[in-house]
Amino acid sequence: MPVGFQAFKEDGSLLFDIDRITYGLLKSGYLNLVDRWGRHYLRSGQLNPNDDGSWGYSDFRDPICGITVSGAISPIVFLVGDGKPCGEAVNGNDRTLYFKGCSPDTKAFIFDLMRDVGERSGMECYDAAGRISFTTGMPPLNVIATVDPPAINPPVSPNTDIRWTPYSGGGNERSGLEWSSGDFVQPKGAVFVPVASGELAACLTFSRICLLNEGFDLGAGTYRTNANEGCGGSQGGVRFFFSPAVATTAVMYGSSTTSWFDIPTDRQPQALVIRASDYPFPFR
């Protein structure tokens, strides 16, 4: 039996225990455009990929968004709006978290292990080792739901693994121009899942990867490239989506039809969901 302080919800479930470190809100704010990353592409499927001359490079065309936090230890990011993590950069005590597939109104709520954040009012709890395990200076993470993505669409015919859209009940969208008309136009295969009322934020437990024929109007031609999965909360639910992966290589491809294939179906992630309106925005 624990010997320290415990707090319980109205339904009797444990809210926090001072013997266990809790996650709390470290920062919230909009994601900002911080860079554009290009892609290497094979000029033709008939060329030797081992020959450097077979490759071209499209510079600064995939918008990358970011948000910087100080003193992060093990951050978890929940988004309102589309987006998916694509790396980070560390400079001293600052960490910039990168995301792809975002729009100018995508919100980020960054949670981290609770610790001393300089607040000198409210309540602090310590574990047996003297570490802060709970502080009202970091509003605690409260996951209200876990949501499974819809099933992956069956192949268009029994002898292929090609799918016109990734999710059953979903569709393809034209995206990529949220920040500039000079960026890549690219497809996004998305689906909305209703969860609860209000503005919600979501975090995907892991991301599946697949292959994609980018059959939208891409100017020089259609590319076959890698794609991966993301999610974000919205009013009343969660959007799951597949879109081109960041800094991926691509192959010129003749088909003008958007299609998705090699999507893993033996396992799937979940979206963890919080109610965004329960947290201050912006914060720190």
- One-letter-per-residue 3-state SS of 105-122: CCEEEEEEECCCCCCCCC
- Quick one: 211 and 113 in the same domain? no
- The answer on 125 and 26 residing in a single domain is yes
Give Cα separations from 114 to 69, 140, 204, 269 (angstroms). 14, 8, 21, 26
Interval 108-143: pLDDT, tens: 999 999 887 777 677 888 777 777 878 888 899 999
One domain for residues 33 and 129:
yes
Q: What is the mean pLDDT of the chain?
A: 87
Report whether pLDDT(69) > 80: yes
Question: What pLDDT score was predicted for residue 19?
Answer: 74
Strands (E) in the chain, as ranges, are 6-8, 14-17, 23-30, 32-42, 55-70, 76-80, 84-91, 94-100, 107-113, 124-126, 132-135, 145-147, 162-163, 171-175, 186-204, 209-214, 222-244, 250-253, 259-261, 271-275
User: Are 171 and 250 contained in the same domain?
Assistant: yes
β-pair partners for 87: 98
Residues 177 and 251 in one domain: yes
Domain-terminating residue out of 107, 122, 141: 141
Torsion of CA 50, 56, 59, 65, to 10 degrees: -50
Please indicate, yes or no, if residue 52 is contained in any of the structural domains. Answer: no
- Same domain assignment for residues 93 and 156: no
Q: Has residue 280 been placed in a domain?
A: no
Q: What is the pTM of this model?
A: 0.88
On whether both 14 and 126 belong to a single domain, the answer is yes
Phi, psi of 52 (to 5 degrees): -60, -30
41: DSSP letter: E
Residue 13 has pLDDT above 60, yes or no: yes
CA distance 55 to 52: 6
1 is a domain residue: no
Residues 237 and 130 in one domain: no
> Could you report how far apart the first and last alpha carbons of the chain are, in Å?
37
Specify whether 172 is located in the same domain as 265: yes
Domain contains 282? no
211 residue type, one letter: L
Q: How far is CA 248 from CA 35, 175, 243, in A?
A: 16, 17, 11
Per the CB < 8 A criterion, the answer to whether 112 and 77 are in contact is: no
- Summarised one tens digit per residue, pLDDT across range 152-165 is 999 998 888 999 99
Tell me, yes or no, whether 55 lies in a domain: no
The whole-angstrom separation of Cα 137 and Cα 120 is 8
Same domain, 135 and 178: no
Q: 141, 156, 183 — which closes off a domain? A: 141
Residues 84 and 164 in one domain: no
What CA–CA distance (Å, rounded) separates 198 from 276? Answer: 8
Residue 85 lies in a domain: yes
For residues 178 and 249, membership in a common domain is answered with yes
Quote the domain boundaries for residue 266.
Answer: 146-275
Domain limit, last residue, from 141, 170, 185: 141
What's the rounded Cα separation, in Å, for the pair 7 and 229? 36
The pLDDT tens digits for 239-251 are 999 998 886 666 6
The pLDDT of residue 224 is 76
Q: Count up the domains in the chain and report the number.
A: 2
Contact 242, 152 (CB under 8 A): no
Is 50 a member of any domain?
no
Residue 269 lies in a domain: yes
pLDDT at 30 over 80: yes
